[in-house]
Copies of this chain bind each other. A is one copy, B any other.
Amino acid sequence: MPDLRKDPIVGRWVIISPERARRPGNFQDNFTLNGDGFDPFAAGNEDATPPEILAYREPGTRPNSPGWRVRVVPNRFPALQIEGDLNKKGDGIYDMMNGVGAHEVIIECPHAEPNMSRLSVENVREVLWAYRDRLVDLKKDPRLVHGMIFKNQGAAAGASMWHAHSQLIVTPVVPITVQEEITGALEFYNYRGRCIFEDMLQQELAVRERIVLETPGFVVFCPFASRFPFEMWILPRQHSSHYENIQRQAVDELGMVLRTALRKLEIAVDDPPCNYVFHSAPFSASELPHYRWHIEILPRLTGVAGFEWGSGCFINPVPPEEAAAFLRDSDAGT
């Protein structure tokens, strides 16, 4: 059973997960990434993964057989385990609990394709709906308090599999980065009486120099204090703190927006390694007036070295205004 342990100084939880050391390559995550070998995520190879938790399928096809369009399975090397009690306990100044949680893989398409940007818009929409479906389901578990959706694309971004996929880790604690955003947003709300995300959106739309793309429901921009070159955030115009409360119509629009943003990045910077993360309020919180869910797209063009680890201060050689201009002008086609 993995442990969750809290750093007593800054309050950051870490997952001590010895089971993961047994995965192929041990410390290095590089198996099957070249795409030449066997693809356990392809249609027809369903028995190479744990049994599916969810799949959107053609009528009449059986679970764990071909006929699916998007498929969700447990991670074969989970960081957390779904069974067990939390067993929260203290040990002197330290706090810990059992590493209870969910770690799932969203296989985004049945065919051999590494990049989400090259899937059909309809396919991306179904991936986004699968995220929502899984969060809604896992939210019922009273032990779990937060779900983080993320994508690792390319070896330098931490991907261990070539085939297009994303992941969901649901934890019994609120991750520190999300907590810090919520705390910061609450301070702003208490001081100014407004949601900081709305203020940011209004300023970006007025200034326009960091806008990449806008639609009736969403705005894509390079944030003022971008950590990474070509970093982009996707922010809904309508206030909502929890991604899992999204409606079908908004997902349809978001599918096009996310795919276009990724496509622009791929064209502008020659298909860089890339992560994206969904930031959304904890399951345990009701709708928060001060916090808005959003997607952060983090291209991994620059290394992260001692200074960044030690300071939390990032050195970004590309001003977000230049990045946004470049991304705006990149024709994402269809």
Cα distance, A16 to B296, chains bound together (Å) = 18
Q: What residues on B are CB-neighbors of A275 within 8 Å?
A: 305-306, 309-310
> Counting chain B CB atoms within 10 Å of each CB, which of A10, A18, A304 scores highest?
A10
* Interface 1/0 per residue, A199-221 and B, CB below 8 Å: 11001000100000000000000
| A306 and B318 form a contact (CB under 8 A) | no
Q: Are A196 and B304 neighbours in the complex by a CB distance under 8 Å?
A: no
- For A262-301 the 0/1 string (1 means CB < 8 A from B) is 0000000000000111110000000000000000101001
A185 interface residue (CB < 8 Å to B)? yes
Nearest B residue to A15 by beta-carbon distance? B315
A212-235 interface mask toward B, CB cutoff 8 Å, 1 = contact, 0 = none? Answer: 000000000001111101000000
* Residues of chain B within 8 A of A59, CB atoms compared: none
B93 contacts A158, C-beta separation under 8 Å: no
Q: How many residues of A contact B (CB 8 A)?
A: 83
Residues of B within 8 A of A177 (CB): 10, 310-313
Taking CB atoms, residues of chain B closer than 8 Å to A227 are: 12, 14
A180 at the interface (CB under 8 A from B): yes
Least distance between A306 CB and chain B CB atoms (Å): 3
Q: A151 CA to B307 CA in the complex, in Å?
A: 8
- Asked whether A120 is an interface residue with its Cβ less than 8 Å from the other chain, the reply is no
A310 and B277 contact, Cβ closer than 8 Å, known pairs A184-B9, A184-B11, A315-B20: yes
Of chain B, the residue at the smallest CB distance from A169 is: B307
A71 → chain B closest CB, angstroms? 19
A49 interfacial by beta-carbon distance below 8 Å = no
Which 3 residue pairs spanning A and B have beta carbons closest together?
A158-B305, A277-B310, A150-B306
Interface residues of A (CB under 8 A from B): 3, 5-21, 27-29, 79, 92-94, 148, 150-152, 157-159, 167, 169, 171, 173, 175-178, 180-181, 184-185, 188, 196, 199-200, 203, 207, 223-227, 229, 275-279, 296, 298, 301-307, 309-320, 322
